[in-house]
Structure 1
């Protein structure tokens, strides 16, 4: 007859569990009761402290071993080590000085390049003013020649320009024409032409320069003003703190002349 239901000897009953538990060793029964382990907060802190203490001891032992090696080294070895350290320090110092010198040279080169660029731009502006390719402004005088009778001829305006240049004029404009080194004056059909362009009366001459030098140069005895007044023209000279010369000439490329600089 088979075992009664609920018997302890059944394959899935409590008797089978006790048999398996008795078959376990003592260590296995111990681990069965504590695994997975449940650590309290205090136990975790103690474990971390022990780990840190062990790591510090390991570092101290290593440092002590290295110091022991140096203490046990021969005098010749210590001298050699010091010489190597001195040589390395000297090389690093030399490299530092070399890099500092390179930095200084680069800074000086950059400053020189910037200064050269500024001087080039300034020279370009100055040449542009003289050539009439850029506008200019500054102190100067305004001359108004009212020639109602039409007796003023081109050579009189040319004398005026030459007198102004001799007195230090830096930029001159007559009407809407910029006067430059190659400017020419001519009479045509009862009118004055400057560089082939007709200028109308009254003639307004704007001049940039030092007013204290320009005005007296025009009013000297036998000078420009008196010569124009002899032709029944009325001349007025007005000093200005700011004169704007904005008539421009196009830059003309020479056909044959080339720079000789290399």
Structure 2
């Protein structure tokens, strides 16, 4: 009886040891896991500022790259604007040059500025005739003869024309009065020297066309002399008395 009781107590004591051992084992696992977890968390907490700084640098780098791209796009846009401006300026400059040349040509035609350059000189003289047997009017230079020369010179591109030193314009009035002609109220005697500034070859060729102006003048008994000159100077209308 005592032996059975003692064996029962031994079993109970051994069971408690086993239970305690199991409990301690479980607690050991728990402590070990907690230690590793805390250690890991502690390591992360130590590395956190560095990671945050690296992340900040990465974000700043990305932002800087985006800003650089924006600046590059702005530079390209400005370069396009500059090219457009240069093109527009060049076109405007060309247009300005053309307008200046046109204005100059117009002033030359109007006679408001002097004209200088190569050109031609046409001299018209009365033909020889016998006043007893022939009609003088058939041998005298009339305004129609002068106008033929003047109009042909204008059509051929003359930039300025003068008759006996009298500059004429598009509005000049030429009238014949016997052996003299009147230009804008000024009386000029024969011979009539018509000078024109322009391309000498073109002007001369236009006057010498077969059946043209000079042939018609010769047919009307007018003595015609044509010269090509390297330089002719014509005064402006305002410079004349």
The alignment's TM-score, normalised by the length of structure 2, stands at: 0.60
Deviation at 1:203, TM superposition (A): 1.1
Which deviations, in whole Å up to 9, do the C-alpha atoms of 1:83-132 show, x marking residues without a partner?
A: 22222222332333344344444444443443333222222112112222
Tell me if structure 1 keeps the 8 A contact 2:179–2:190: no
Deviation at 1:164, TM superposition (A): 3.0
Which deviations, in whole Å up to 9, do the C-alpha atoms of 1:37-94 show, x marking residues without a partner?
A: xxxxxxxxxxxxxxxxxxxxxxxxxxxxxxx998543664443232222222223323
Specify whether residues 133 and 153 from structure 1 end up closer, same or farther in structure 2 by C-alpha distance, changes over 3 A only.
Answer: same
Which deviations, in whole Å up to 9, do the C-alpha atoms of 1:209-230 show, x marking residues without a partner?
A: 3333433444456554455456
Deviation at 1:194, TM superposition (A): 1.6
Distance in 1 between residues matched to 2:228 and 2:90, nearest whole Å: 41
Q: Which residue of 2 aligns with 1:124?
A: 103
Tell me if structure 2 keeps the 8 A contact 1:139–1:209: yes
Distance in 2 between residues matched to 1:229 and 1:100, nearest whole Å: 68
Distance in 1 between residues matched to 2:72 and 2:214, nearest whole Å: 76
Larger radius of gyration: 2
Alignment gaps of 5+ in structure 2: 1-46, 129-135
1:237 partner SS = strand
Of 138, 149, 154 in structure 2, the residue corresponding to residue 160 of structure 1 is: 149
2:237 partner SS = coil
Q: Which residue of 1 aligns with 2:115?
A: 136
Q: Which residue of 2 aligns with 1:80?
A: 59
- Please tell me whether residue 197 in structure 1 is matched to residue 186 in structure 2: yes
Structure with greater helix percent: 2
Deviation at 1:205, TM superposition (A): 0.7
The alignment's TM-score, normalised by the length of structure 1, stands at: 0.56
Distance in 2 between residues matched to 1:144 and 1:217, nearest whole Å: 16
- Please tell me whether residue 239 in structure 1 is matched to residue 228 in structure 2: yes
Specify whether residues 152 and 81 from structure 1 end up closer, same or farther in structure 2 by C-alpha distance, changes over 3 A only.
Answer: closer
Of 137, 153, 161 in structure 2, the residue corresponding to residue 172 of structure 1 is: 161
Alignment gaps of 5+ in structure 1: 1-67, 251-262
2:231 partner SS = strand
Specify whether residues 74 and 166 from structure 1 end up closer, same or farther in structure 2 by C-alpha distance, changes over 3 A only.
Answer: closer
Distance in 1 between residues matched to 2:124 and 2:188, nearest whole Å: 12
Deviation at 1:140, TM superposition (A): 1.9
2:193 partner SS = strand
Distance in 2 between residues matched to 1:176 and 1:207, nearest whole Å: 11
